[in-house]
Amino acid sequence: MFDRLKARWKVNSWSLFLILTTFALGGSTCARMAKWLIPADLHPGQPVWWIVYLILVTLLWPMCVLLISIPLGQFPFFKNYLKRIASRMAGKKTSSSNAIPRIAVFASGAGSNVEKLIHSPFNKSAYDIALVVSNKSTAPVVELAKKNNIPVLVLEKQDLENPDKLLKHLKRDQIDAIVLAGYLKKINPELVEAFPNKILNIHPSLLPKYGGKDMYGIRVNAAVIEAGEAFSGITIHLVNEEYDQGQILFQEKLARSADETPDSLAKKIQQLEHQHFPNAIANYLKSPIPR
């Protein structure tokens, strides 16, 4: 529960403690003040006492939490929090069409692209990273997510074969789209069906060349060099039931040097990924997602 609150409010553990403390102190202070302000000729046995008490609590609570939040350093949080409550009470709810899409990012390795997505200015404006999913509990991307207060789901072998648990988790977290950022497992057909045109992947070649099963990472770069290609690049595409055959959304190419090695080409490809991946994801998610 606490991890979910940290992720929802985008705070660390210490800030969460101070926020919850403010809620507790504000509530108790408000209750005491309300009782003190009730006229002496009223008592809890009378229905009118409870009516007056509830009115006073409702009026005093915002003032109490704001005052207590100042010495605890949480005034900006509670100022925005109360503004959101006021907007909802006034009927100014954000429509679903304008809501920021909540995305789950799937990754298996170090997570350099995930880090770029997290720290991009598009995060919280064009998309909201609500979950990181990995098939490896020891993958550095798991620790990266935890450091940034993003909930993590580690998939077990049975989860990869039967996605029921994953689908329930994604539904519970209200995930709108999935982004694959160095995820090395094939996506289940059930997941593709549940998220039509809402699963995006990045591939280190100019698809349809050098895609398909077992074509990932350094293998792709080695194949490009072995074939004598003058150019390579990146492709961001939708995911369907077949490896790397979904609709292409974005491509960027680069020239290959005559003395290129798989490692040197990989570094160039990674730079392209870091440069374009967040922007391409944001552009797709800002538009109405085709059904």
Asked whether the predicted pLDDT for residue 214 surpasses 90, the reply is no
Is residue 36 domain-shared with residue 111, that is, in the same domain? no
Domain boundary, last residue among 62, 89, 116:
89
Pairing of strands 152-154, 177-180: unpaired
pLDDT at 11: 66
Q: Write out pLDDT tens, residues 39-52.
A: 888 888 888 888 98
Widest pairwise Cα distance in the chain: 93
Contact of 90 with 165, CB cutoff 8 Å: no
| Domain termination site, one of 27, 54, 89 | 89
Is 266 within 8 Å of 221 (Cβ atoms)?
yes
From 188, 193, 190, 276, select the one nearest 237 (Cα to Cα): 276
When mean pLDDT is compared across 15-19, 104-108, 273-277, the lowest value belongs to 15-19
pLDDT, averaged across the chain: 87
Q: Is the pLDDT at 160 greater than 50, yes or no?
A: yes
* Alpha carbon separation from 151 to 103, 195, 256 (Å, rounded): 12, 20, 39
Residues 107 and 197 in one domain: yes
Same domain assignment for residues 237 and 119:
yes
In tens, the pLDDT along 133-149 reads 999 999 999 999 999 98
Over residues 66-99, the pLDDT tens digits come to 999 999 888 878 887 887 787 777 765 544 445 7
Confirm whether 179 is domain-assigned: yes
Report the relative pairing of strands 177-180 and 199-203 from DSSP bridges: parallel
The answer on pLDDT for 202 being more than 70 is yes
Q: How far apart are CA 147 and CA 40, in angstroms?
A: 53
Per-residue confidence at 7, pLDDT binned at 50, 70, 90? Answer: low
pLDDT-wise least confident of 50-59, 78-87, 232-241, 244-253: 78-87
- CA 282 – CA 121 distance, rounded (Å): 10
What average pLDDT score do residues 17-25 get? Answer: 92
Mean pLDDT of 253-268: 93
pLDDT score of 96: 45
Total of domains in the chain: 2
Residues serving a catalytic function are: 203
- More confident call, 225 vs 162: 225
Give 216's pLDDT tier (boundaries 50, 70, 90): confident
Q: Whole domain around residue 241: which residue ranges?
A: 102-286
**Looking at residues 151-168, what average pLDDT do you find?**
85
Does one domain contain both 107 and 77? Answer: no
Q: What is the pLDDT of residue 10?
A: 61
Q: Which structure tokens are listed for 221?
A: 């770069």
* Residue 264, token pair as written in the block: 């040197």
Q: What is the pTM of this model?
A: 0.67
Same domain, 53 and 112: no
Cβ neighbours, 10 Å, residue 284: 21
Task: Return the pLDDT at 117.
Answer: 95
Q: Which helix (H) or strand (E) holds 29?
A: helix 13-37
pLDDT for residue 66: 92
Question: Percentage of the chain surpassing pLDDT 90?
Answer: 52
Q: Decide if 95 is inside a domain.
A: no
Residue 94 forms part of a structural domain: no
